[in-house]
């Protein structure tokens, strides 16, 4: 059975991995007959957000790996342990954690850098053209990982798209139910909650992305 690495960024849309997107990704992988292992970097979150009020929880700190373990029901590993040779593909769900904890795009925009463990693993996958899917805001880090000319989508947000293009990425407007596939790089992306107004809308694009990924692995 093909094995997929799923890289999470915490737990909760405002400071970690988007929970709906993460669960929909795992469900779609199972429905396509794909095995998976969840990973997250063993680092502190950029900050903690009270998801009831939307305010920063001053004085609180949380670990990305420990928080992501909530979504993975404890079956998760430190991303530092992940080896490209053990996996056939990877998927990165969104949520602000992707832009705050997996990289610092949320703070630095086009001047962002990517977490070293994320960079090492994804660049190793890219070097051998293994398919990787990025969801929601996670595609914002693609130009840093795949270089100039990489094609991707975060939906249709003009400011975010402009920052991505400033890094050398090629942003392509995309509806919530669709995906963008960069054939040259074997790279997939879908807007999910950058556009979705419901769980079912988020599911439409995520399901299509995972189905495409599954078809690439069978080719």
* Residues acting as catalytic residues: 136
- Can you state the percent helix, strand and coil of the chain, rounding each to 5? 40, 20, 40
Residues 92 and 103: their CA atoms lie apart, in Å, by: 12
Strand order, beta sheet including 132-135: 76-78, 35-40, 3-7, 89-92, 132-135, 187-190, 180-182
**Contact (CB, 8 A) for 20 and 199:** yes
Place of tokens 């977490």: 115
Largest CA distance in the chain: 50
Contact between 47 and 107 (Cβ < 8 Å): no
Residue showing tokens 């920063």: 56
């Amino acid at each position: 059975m093909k094995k997929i690495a799923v890289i999470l960024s915490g737990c909760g849309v405002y400071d970690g991995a988007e929970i709906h997107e993460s669960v929909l990704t795992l469900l779609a992988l199972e429905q396509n007959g794909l095995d998976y292992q969840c990973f997250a970097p063993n680092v502190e979150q950029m900050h903690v957000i009270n998801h009831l009020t939307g305010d920063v929880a001053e004085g609180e700190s949380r670990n990305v790996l420990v928080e992501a373990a909530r979504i993975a029901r404890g079956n998760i590993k430190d991303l530092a342990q992940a080896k490209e040779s053990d996996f056939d593909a990877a998927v990165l769900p969104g949520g602000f954690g992707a832009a705050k904890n997996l990289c610092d795009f949320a703070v630095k925009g086009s001047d962002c850098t990517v977490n070293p463990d994320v960079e090492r693993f994804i660049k190793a996958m890219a070097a051998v053209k293994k398919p990787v899917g990025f969801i929601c805001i996670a595609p914002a880090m693609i130009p840093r990982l795949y270089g100039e000319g990489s094609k991707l989508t975060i939906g249709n947000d003009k400011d975010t798209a402009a920052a991505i293009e400033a890094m050398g990425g090629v942003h392509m407007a995309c509806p919530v139910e669709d995906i963008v596939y960069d054939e040259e790089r074997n790279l997939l992306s879908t807007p999910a909650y950058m556009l979705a107004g419901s769980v079912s809308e988020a599911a439409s694009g995520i399901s299509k992305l995972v189905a495409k990924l599954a078809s690439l692995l069978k080719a």
